[in-house]
Amino acid sequence: MEGLSETQFAYLLLTPALLLLAVIALWPLLSTFRMSLFADNLTGSAQLGSFVGLQNYVELFTGQKSYALPAPFLPKLTGTFPYVTGWFTTALGATLVFTVVSVFFETIIGFGQALVLDQDFTGRRWVRVAIIIPWAVPVVIQGMIFYLLFQPNIGFLIGDAQQTILQQLGIFGKTPLANAGETMLIIIVADVWKTSAFMALLILAGLQSIDRNLYEVARVAGASKWQQFKLITLPLVLPTVLIAMLFRTIAAMRVYGIIDSVSSCQTVPSLSCMVVAGFSQRQIGTAATVAFVTAAIIGVAVSVYIAKFARSSVGGD
Amino acid sequence: MSQDTDTTPTTDTADLKRGPFESWVNRSISNPENVYQAMFYLVTGFFLVTTLFPFYWLVVLALTPNEQIVDMGLLPKGTNVGAFVEVFQAIPFHRFVINSLLIATATTIIVLVLASLAGYVFGRLDFPGKKPLMLVILAISYFPPAAFLLPLFSLFTGGKALYFQTSAITIGLQSPDLYNSPWPMVMPFSALFLPLSIFILTTFYGQIPDGLEDAARIEGTTRLGALARVIVPLSAPGIATAGVLTFITVYNEYFFSSLMTNGAWQNWAPIVEGILGYRGHHETPYNLMAAASIVGVLPVAILVVVAQEKIVSGLTSGALKE
């Protein structure tokens, strides 16, 4: 092995990782793309229909794609998103609404939590544990918590016989988890609860890498706390915040677990929910197309993000 | 305030005549630190209540006997600790937890070994194709799990479930027994969560001075020997971080965990299936769902308490500087 050149040695050590990635990631990706070029075959014994090229993609975007799914959410959702028609645009719209709203609130709350955790105070260790622990909660338990919180007539949030404050305010009806808009609100709250903590972790890491001497200098120069925050903290932590938002956006676009565990993917269809639904209905071509469109949208979002913030984040080490 | 200023003179000597709030405001104006302090405690209190309340709610439900779970207030209706025992009797819940822990452990070991080798290559060696390779590895982690699901399902069911039985790779690995074993979870997790660990370890390994490795090499150690005896021990915090993050991520995963088994604990179904398993019961055992959730959270909660410093430092050095 000592006779190898550095390049040969490098590739030798990379072989196991690359092999695993090739079989478990790269091949499935190419394979999914190939499936997306075939028609669904609902009748015969073969699991894919005939080769149709990009027809699945065209039909998906033009709303011609019919989906033989038990889709109880569809009529309800058209009330929530009146500007969309087909199931694909509904799923896309639901995913985008979820992504934008949850990432927005996670950033703000996570930033606030990170600022708290960056302070020096007694009991900081335990406050830190308390604030980051939702991040460590398995998705299924996160889902179970919010499923239980919003069960009608068991809890104080949703009453059956008498209306709770949330119901009197008109935010929730009698069965929030059967209503698309209300379920969307619940999964966003659930997601913000769990992933603000992750955001806080990333931003805290950024805050702690700021040189403390800068604050000393600013204080000597007479800068107020707010000025210190605006002129030192904010610009220096911004690249971290943007990367954290990028991570969260990617993850939110593929949201599945929290929706499935709260509402069994029955009221709010994310794109990933639609892939699983199509897959279980053996509409392999359509499911693969949705999977690949999701990947493409994430890819575009990542590229736009990197291009827009390239100077402040990526490569700005 | 305005009423007060009409009747009393607003000089500092009149401080005693004011209410506690006014004097606090007065002191705050002369010393804004107090305001920052108060705001800080207010905000901290708010975050503590909002993050911890859902856990408290689980405890309230778990302690309340199931038939009493109607119109719950903020306090448990009883102290039925029995739910925590019943959790393991209604279904073998501990088996689901053990399955998840074993799957997470196996994945973490595979990831750490592969990421150590890759991190050494990316952090310490120079070779053509380094940057593009790193980009490809990073890009893989951008894809939604849904994009891997169909072919992987076919792969692990031996090509029976999908069209892809003619693929050479599928034939090579064809074994229907792979489904309902730990592998349909361990292998995808290892591949999908590998990139983060590679980036963390690349940073840690890259920071070790060349001199230390050279010294070991001069004494006759091979390159791999130097990796094992010099670089890995010196990067222990980085390895611990990558390990903890991988373990928690796998234990918490939902997508593959819920789709890659048939839900039976004998067939390696993870904790997802255990917790959702209570839903299918005739009469919904809300207290058991809550108790199961508390039991299921404990392993990762303990890990977070123990490893919180490492998690923060690992994210600082690995995920963000790249």
- Write the pLDDT tens digit of every residue in B134-168: 888 888 878 888 889 888 888 887 666 553 333 33
% of chain B residues with pLDDT over 90: 32
Q: Is pLDDT of A114 > 90?
A: yes
Q: How many CB atoms lie within 10 A of CB A301?
A: 17
Contacts A51 to B, Cβ<8 Å: none
* Minimal C-alpha gap between A232 and chain B (Å): 18
Tokens of A121: 């105070």
Compare CB distances from A138 to B133, B187, B252 and report the shortest one's residue: B252
Tokens of A293: 């469109």
The phi, psi pair for A184, rounded to 5°, reads -55, -45
Q: A130 and B305 in contact by Cβ < 8 A?
A: no
Helix (H) or strand (E) holding A49: strand A48-51
What band does B47 get if pLDDT is binned at 50, 70 and 90? very high
Tokens of B90: 């209604």
Mean pLDDT of B207-223: 85
Tokens of A14: 């990379």
Cα separation, B195 vs B111, whole angstroms:
9
Q: A290 and B146 in contact by Cβ < 8 A?
A: yes
Q: What is the mean pLDDT of chain B?
A: 82
* Minimal C-alpha gap between B321 and chain A (Å): 6
Amino acid found at A33: F
Q: Is A303 on the interface with B (CB under 8 A)?
A: no
Mean pLDDT of B51-71: 88
Find the DSSP H helices in B157-229.
Answer: 168-172, 183-206, 210-218, 223-226
Q: What number of C-beta contacts closer than 8 Å exist between A and B?
A: 285
- For residue range A299-316, list pLDDT tens digits in order: 888 888 878 775 544 443
Q: The complex's ipTM?
A: 0.87
Q: Is pLDDT of B315 > 80?
A: no
Q: Is A236 on the interface with B (CB under 8 A)?
A: no
Q: Give the 3-state secondary structure of A78-133.
A: HHHCCCCCCHHHHHHHHHHHHHHHHHHHHHHHHHHHHHHHHCCCCCHHHHHHHHHH
DSSP characters for B89-148?
HHS-HHHHHHHHHHHHHHHHHHHHHHHHHHHHHHHH---TTHHHHHHHHHHHTTS-THHH
Residues 6+ apart with CB under 8 A from B215: none
pLDDT recorded at residue A143: 93
What band does B301 get if pLDDT is binned at 50, 70 and 90? very high
Angstrom distances, CA of residue B173 to CA of A47, A184, A293, B185: 20, 41, 29, 16
pLDDT recorded at residue B2: 44
* Minimal C-alpha gap between B175 and chain A (Å): 15
Q: A10 and B162 in contact by Cβ < 8 A?
A: no
More reliable by pLDDT, A266 or A69: A266
pLDDT recorded at residue A247: 86
pLDDT recorded at residue B95: 94
Touching B: A residues 147-176, CB under 8 Å:
147-149, 151, 153-156, 159-161
Nearest to B248 by CA among B184, B304, B310: B304
pLDDT recorded at residue B78: 81
Residues 6+ apart with CB under 8 A from A160: A152, A153, A174, B71
Cα separation, A185 vs A113, whole angstroms:
22
Q: Is pLDDT of A108 > 70?
A: yes
Top-confidence range, A71-80, B259-268, B308-317 = B259-268
More reliable by pLDDT, A172 or A81: A172
Cα separation, B220 vs B218, whole angstroms:
5
For chain B, the first-to-last Cα distance in angstroms comes to 54
pLDDT recorded at residue A42: 66
Q: A139 and B252 in contact by Cβ < 8 A?
A: yes
% of chain B residues with pLDDT over 70: 84
Touching B: A residues 50-109, CB under 8 Å:
none
pLDDT recorded at residue B153: 85
pLDDT recorded at residue A312: 47
Q: A291 and B44 in contact by Cβ < 8 A?
A: no
Amino acid found at B206: G
Q: A205 and B315 in contact by Cβ < 8 A?
A: yes
> B101-123 burial string, b = 16+ CB within 10 Å, else e?
bebbbbbbebbbebbbbbbbbbb
- For residue range B83-117, list pLDDT tens digits in order: 899 889 888 999 999 999 999 999 999 999 999 99
Q: B308 and A128 in contact by Cβ < 8 A?
A: yes
Tokens of A71: 């889709």
Q: Which residue of B has its CA nearest to A189?
A: B50
Q: B153 and A279 in contact by Cβ < 8 A?
A: yes
Q: Is pLDDT of A82 > 60?
A: no
Cα separation, B95 vs B269, whole angstroms:
9
Contacts B232 to A, Cβ<8 Å: none
- For residue range A177-228, list pLDDT tens digits in order: 888 888 999 999 999 999 999 899 889 988 888 888 899 999 898 888 888 8
% of chain A residues with pLDDT over 90: 33
- For residue range B279-294, list pLDDT tens digits in order: 766 778 888 999 999 9
Sign of the CA dihedral running B257, B260, B264, B267: negative
Mean pLDDT of B229-253: 90
* Minimal C-alpha gap between B7 and chain A (Å): 34
pLDDT recorded at residue A69: 55
Compare CB distances from A260 to B61, B258, B297 and report the shortest one's residue: B258
Q: Is pLDDT of A173 > 90?
A: no
Q: Which residue of B has its CA nearest to A119?
A: B40
User: Tokens 């002129």 map to which residue?
Assistant: A231
More reliable by pLDDT, B2 or A131: A131
Q: Is A223 on the interface with B (CB under 8 A)?
A: no
DSSP class of residue B180 equals T
Compare CB distances from B146 to A47, A125, A291 and report the shortest one's residue: A291
Angstrom distances, CA of residue B87 to CA of A209, A262, B33, B90: 44, 20, 50, 6
Amino acid found at A68: A
Mean pLDDT of A105-122: 92
Q: Is A209 on the interface with B (CB under 8 A)?
A: yes
- For residue range A39-65, list pLDDT tens digits in order: 887 666 667 778 888 888 988 887 777
